[in-house]
């Protein structure tokens, strides 16, 4: 029973009082160093010995010395104090952004442009925070969140989304990309009916782009070029070589800023790609991860402060 009582009553204050007395071997001086009255200090030490079930000090009229058990406990008490103080200092470092780690997953279209710029902005404000990025397709992003490998993911909707806490960041429109000499290259707007009979170069079936496009373009009468790729840079090269056309979401457009290409807005309100913040259910973000997310949301076109408030509200409800 006493061991349980000691585990409950032992605190940093008690440990420090014990070590003060062990060091100066004088109740009055130890009480002064502990900022306690001598009666209160003596009572603290007496309770510690009662909980321990063994005397820790030998008291005489002139002297206070440690017993054998007291010497043993003094060594461990000093180690415990150092560990507790180190832990508190570490917590303060995390709270003030001097330490920490942010791990995130994001779609390749975000990882190649937006996220590097956000990382650079974040690093200028918090240079000692470790940053980790995984560029994955939607399913891979969700799997990393599921395993707890990342703090959060910026991704499109995927299977079993109900397993996670998610909040919308924005929905991005699609654009038509063709060669600069294509018959449609000078159009200001492209409608779905304009795609009839065009050879389409597709992204991989596992990509969020393909998953959002397929139900819509199936009715638009497009032809299959027979080419299916995974990398946006490859897609740009194939279109520039005249091997077909494609539809891409807004945040991928940095890959298609080439003189050999034409990029034209698609008038199709029903065709957008939602972007979500996804994290594990009931797991709050660290302060460093929150700060990273704020930077990303501020830099995300069409999102801004409204999305930041939504993501914060979603976290609070989780």
For the segment 115-126, what is each residue's pLDDT rounded down to a tens digit?
A: 999 999 999 999
- C-beta atoms surrounding 126 within 10 Å: 20
Residues 6 and 87 in one domain: yes
Residues 88 and 203 in one domain: no
Residues 87 and 115 in one domain: no
Residues 162 and 304 in one domain: yes
Tokens 């508190």 label which residue? 88
How far, in Å, CA of 307 to CA of 298, rounded?
A: 9
Instruction: Output 50 or 104, whichever has higher pLDDT.
Output: 104
Query: Residues with Cβ < 8 Å from 105, sequence gap 6 or more?
Result: 133, 134, 135, 136, 140, 141, 144, 145, 149, 150, 152, 153, 154, 155
Tokens 């782009």 label which residue? 209
How far, in Å, CA of 163 to CA of 144, rounded?
A: 13
Residues 295 and 264 in one domain: no
Residues 266 and 198 in one domain: yes
DSSP assignment, residue 246? E
pLDDT band at 90 (very low <50, low <70, confident <90, very high): low
Domain region containing 300? 101-169+275-317
The domain boundary residue, chosen from 95, 125, 159? 95
Q: Taking residues 284-295, report their average pLDDT.
A: 91
Residues 35 and 59 in one domain: yes
The domain boundary residue, chosen from 60, 95, 130? 95
Residues 59 and 142 in one domain: no
Residues 118 and 160 in one domain: yes
pLDDT for position 99: 63
Residues 54 and 134 in one domain: no
Query: Residues with Cβ < 8 Å from 77, sequence gap 6 or more?
Result: 15, 18, 19, 22
CATH code of 25's domain: 1.10.10.10
Residues 33 and 85 in one domain: yes
Helix boundaries (H) for the chain: 2-9, 12-24, 27-33, 38-52, 68-95, 108-111, 114-125, 138-146, 208-217, 232-240, 287-299, 304-317
pLDDT band at 4 (very low <50, low <70, confident <90, very high): very low
CATH code of 149's domain: 3.40.190.10
Average pLDDT, the chain: 85
User: How many separate domains does the chain show?
Assistant: 3
How far, in Å, CA of 245 to CA of 161, rounded?
A: 31
| pTM value surpassing 0.75 | no
Residues 119 and 245 in one domain: no
The domain boundary residue, chosen from 95, 119, 147? 95
């Amino acid at each position: 029973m006493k061991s349980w009582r000691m585990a409950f009553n032992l605190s940093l204050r008690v440990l420090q009082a014990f070590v003060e007395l062990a060091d100066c071997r004088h109740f009055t001086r130890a009480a002064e160093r502990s900022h306690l009255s001598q009666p209160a200090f003596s009572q603290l030490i007496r309770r510690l010995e009662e909980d321990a079930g063994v005397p820790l000090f030998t008291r005489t009229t002139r002297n206070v010395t440690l017993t054998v058990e007291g010497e043993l406990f003094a060594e461990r008490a000093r180690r415990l104090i150092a560990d507790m103080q180190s832990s508190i200092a570490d917590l303060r470092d995390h709270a003030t952004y001097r330490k920490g780690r942010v791990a995130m997953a994001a779609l390749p279209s975000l990882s190649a442009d937006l996220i590097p710029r956000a990382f650079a902005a974040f690093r200028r404000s918090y240079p000692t925070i470790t940053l980790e990025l995984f560029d994955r397709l939607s399913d891979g992003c969700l799997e990393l969140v599921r395993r707890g490998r990342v703090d959060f993911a910026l991704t499109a909707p995927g299977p079993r989304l109900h397993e996670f806490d998610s909040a919308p960041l924005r929905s991005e429109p699609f654009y038509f990309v063709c060669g600069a000499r294509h018959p449609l290259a000078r159009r200001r707007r492209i409608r779905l009916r304009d795609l009839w009979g065009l050879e389409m170069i597709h992204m991989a079936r596992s990509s969020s782009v393909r998953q959002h496009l397929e139900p819509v373009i199936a009715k638009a009468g497009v032809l299959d070029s027979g080419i299916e790729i995974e990398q946006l840079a490859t897609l740009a090269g194939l279109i520039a070589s005249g091997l077909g056309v494609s539809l891409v979401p807004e945040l991928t457009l940095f890959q298609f800023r080439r003189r050999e290409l034409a990029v034209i807005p698609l008038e199709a309100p029903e065709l957008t790609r939602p972007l979500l913040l996804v994290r594990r259910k009931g797991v709050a973000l660290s302060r460093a991860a929150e700060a990273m997310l704020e930077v990303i949301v501020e830099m995300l076109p069409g999102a801004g402060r409204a999305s930041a408030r939504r993501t914060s509200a979603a976290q609070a409800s989780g």
